[in-house]
Amino acid sequence: MTKTKTQSEQRPGRAGSTDILGTNSEIGRKLRQYYDGLVSEDVPDRFAQLLQELDQAESAAKPE
């Protein structure tokens, strides 16, 4: 007598599983971790200075 696998045994990450996205969930977690690391980094001084100069130039160009 042979045992047949149910659909949830044949396809991990599908119905019957708490993690319906399977491997995609792990990819999403890694991307979120990478993004959070980038967002938490400080802005370089030169870049902040350029942004400030841009704001000043835009303010000066606006007619009041």
6 pLDDT exceeds 80?
Answer: no
More confident residue, 44 or 62: 44
pLDDT value, residue 13 = 46
Digit-coded pLDDT (tens) for 46-62: 999 999 999 999 998 87
Reduced to 3 states (helix: H, G, I; strand: E, B; else coil), residue 13 is: coil
Tokens matching residue 36: 């959070």
Instruction: Give tens-digit pLDDT for 15-40.
Output: 445 667 788 888 999 999 999 998 88
Both tokens assigned to 58: 């835009």
Q: Convert 44-56 to b/e letters by CB count within 10 Å (16 or more is b).
A: eeeeeeeeeeeee
Q: What is the pLDDT of residue 23?
A: 82
Angle, CA 32 vertex, CA 10 and CA 41 arms, to 5°: 160
pLDDT score of 46: 94
DSSP symbols for 20-54: TTTHHHHHHHHHHHHHHHHHTSPPPHHHHHHHHHH
